[in-house]
Amino acid sequence: MAPTLEYRDQIAVLTLGDDENRLSPGWLDAVNEKLDDIEEDAHGLVTTGLGKFYSNGLDLDWLTANGERTQWYVGRVQELFSRILTFPRPTVAAVNGHAFGAGSMLAIAHDYRVMRVDRGYFCFPEVDINIPFTVGMAAMIQAKLLPQTAVTAMTTGHRYGGPEAVSAALVDETAPEPEIVTAAAARLQPIIGKDPGTLSKIKSTMYASVTAALRTEQ
């Protein structure tokens, strides 16, 4: 299933898909198109998946078949991270299932995260699959996580379930799977209505060094 968009009052709910929701070039095109609409029409953004995965990260099959385009592809992925990081509306990732690698990075690019309480792992497995973090990816993770959490998450590949992810401040709260999008939307309700231009500028200032690193050629 391709990414889909629905609205709950003034909050956009962007469903990333119903499979592993890997960040393929076609998927990136579809998500960016939806984000264009959300910037115009919504007062807040929730992203989520359906089923077992929030996102399983980079499309490694595509990369294997298109190795000569790796730099272009990673650049596009990092452009999405930067866009979410500085999005002109408040954002929450409703992590419905597994979030691995670049899928976890997509989640932490949001302002807040709500994770399913009983199933699914939040994990940066790069150390175990021999894929070092880019400068931009490392900068974003370190900007968003507590220092010791970043060390453990990035250097050990530890898999965090929902309650442990809250304790490590990887996510802000947990909820049962049927209620996860509702919980994410509830977190946004008190803060919607901020001026989008001002909000975007504040986020851009907060994360100026991160966005610069995400634009750096790897």
Name beta bridge partners: 11: 8, 44
Q: What is the pLDDT of residues 47-93, one digit of tens each?
A: 999 999 999 999 999 999 999 999 999 999 999 999 999 999 999 99
Question: Are residues 90 and 39 in contact, defined by beta-carbon separation less than 8 angstroms?
Answer: no
Residue at 136: amino acid letter = G
More confident residue, 201 or 9: 201
Which CATH number is 4-215 given? 3.90.226.10
pLDDT, tens digit, 9 for 90 and up, residues 160-216: 999 999 999 999 999 999 999 999 999 999 999 999 999 999 999 999 999 999 998
Map tokens 């996860």 to a residue.
Answer: 180
